[in-house]
Amino acid sequence: MDWGVTLSIAIVVLLSLFAIGMPVFVAFLVVNVIGVFLLFGSSGFGMFANSIYQTITQESLMAIPLFILMGEILFRSNAVEILIDSIDKMVGNVRGRNYVLVTSLSTVFGALSGSAVAVAAMLGRSVMPTMDARGYDTRLSISAILGGASLAPIIPPSLLVIMVGSMVDVSIAKLLIAGIVPGIMMAVIMVIYVYIRLLRNPALEPAGDGVAKERVSAREFFTALARTLPFLIVIFSVMGLILMGIVTPTESAATGVLGAMLAAAVFRKLSFKMLYEAVLGTCSVSTMILVIMASSMLFGQLLSFTGASSGLVRMASELDLPLVGTFFVLMLVPFILCMFVDLFAVMLVAIPIYDPLLQVYNFDPVWFWMLFLINLTLGSLTPPFGYTIFALKGAMPELTLDDVYGGAWPMVGLFILGMAIMYVFPAIVTFLPALIG
């Protein structure tokens, strides 16, 4: 059978299984079992078992359950409530402070959790009703939440970055560090967008908002700043130690867990019951992720056996498109798929197909995979079927779809602008990774 037909059938079957609601790991297992049987018969299941074993015993994958445990500890200890209160005081009475607060919170929580959907849902339940009650513009509030939450897969520590680095021949440390500047740049662009909207239409901010909150004294400000220090310890225990060359990315996940436990202890939230619940939650999520990753890597091996990988490389090398056109096509496909299919699933399908193409076009792997992750996030943010926007809608059902879509579209535009800037100036992504060799 021609490799193009084989690849098309495999992808259509996978997407169909996703569409009917089958769990991602089950869908991959079904396709892999059928593929192994058709290609090798019953004797191929030895390769199946060996592939899964080799995948789940990779040392780099140890970082996945550890990063998940770090997030579980921070959220289950309720330490994030202290972070919300502290950032609120530090933002103060600046114009549009709650918009800035929401963008800051969603960015920080995104970095701590790594899940745009989780952050959008959490802020939709906690912050959005408050802003709505105070008279803030609904669509601009939605924009602030969705924009900041969508930085989750970009700003380290990022679980998706760990997964990408484990599946391709790229330094995980460089990929993690590569997200720092783009993440900060996107957050700044979002804040600038909010201020431009406020300058053009002051009615987007409720009257008297600047004085609705008592002025925070210098003592209160520095007290609030001091209360954020335990979270800085968490960030330093992950990224700081990597940058200093003291730990590897896998080891930094372990130090991140210690930092999260320290933060919970400082706030007197650390308990055996909380740790027990965090470990149980981590085991459940980690097992599913590892099974999916093992299945995805076997899927990539099957593509190689059928000649699909080499066929794609050959076809791509024969495309008569300029480099920017090829890059656009490579980004367009997952962007469209992420409107309909889970970001996680699209990533695991696309990586085995895209990885051999990087050498054909001589794309810098750190730069390409970072833009790839940003693009996946953009797809899950884009109406009408983006996962992140439905997470926010589900968290606050009284929001209309028109308002949710209206708040999402400006963020889509800002992310496209950010990706264009990073395409023209790749050093934004590659500068920091280059410093660690």
Q: pLDDT tens-digit profile of 402-418?
A: 898 899 999 999 999 99
Q: d(Cα 311, Cα 316) in Å, to the nearest integer?
A: 8
Average per-residue pLDDT in the chain? 79
Geometric angle at alpha carbon 106, from 237 and 400, rounded to 5° = 160
SS3 115: coil
pLDDT of residue 371: 93
Spell out where 254-381 has E strands.
Answer: none
Backbone angles phi and psi of 217, in degrees to 5: -75, 165
Q: pLDDT tens-digit profile of 210-263?
A: 444 566 777 888 888 888 788 778 778 876 787 677 887 678 778 888 988 988
Calculate mean pLDDT across residues 2-13. Answer: 78
Q: Which residues contact 83 (CB under 8 A, 6 or more apart)?
A: 105, 108, 227, 228, 231
Would you list the DSSP string of 133-150? HTT--HHHHHHHHHHHHT
pLDDT of residue 143: 92
pLDDT of residue 407: 92
User: 353-359: which pairs have CB atoms within 8 A and are 24 or more residues apart?
Assistant: 353/7, 353/300, 353/303, 353/308, 353/309, 353/312, 354/330, 355/167, 355/168, 355/169, 355/300, 356/309, 356/310, 356/312, 356/313, 357/312, 357/313, 357/316, 357/330
Give the burial string for 243-262 (b: 16+ CB within 10 Å, else e). beeebbbbbbbbbbbebbbb
Longest Cα–Cα distance of the chain, Å, equals 74
Q: Which residues contact 235 (CB under 8 A, 6 or more apart)?
A: 111, 259
pLDDT of residue 430: 92
Torsion of CA 176, 178, 184, 189, to 10 degrees: -130
Q: Which residue has the tokens 């700081």?
A: 240
Q: pLDDT tens-digit profile of 356-396?
A: 888 888 899 999 999 998 988 888 788 766 767 877 887 77
Structure tokens at 248: 């590897």
Would you list the DSSP string of 364-378? -HHHHHHHHHHHHHH
Would you list the DSSP string of 349-403? HHHHHHHHHHHHHT--HHHHHHHHHHHHHHHHHSTTT-HHHHHHHHHSTTS-HHH
Q: pLDDT tens-digit profile of 159-215?
A: 778 778 878 878 888 888 898 899 999 989 998 999 899 888 888 877 655 444 566
Q: Which residue has the tokens 């934004």?
A: 428
CA separation, residue 71 to residues 10, 113, 249 (Å): 35, 5, 16
Q: d(Cα 240, Cα 227) in Å, to the nearest integer?
A: 19
Geometric angle at alpha carbon 23, from 38 and 369, rounded to 5° = 85
Choose among 384, 289, 306: nearest CA to 340: 384
CB 292 within 8 A of CB 17: no
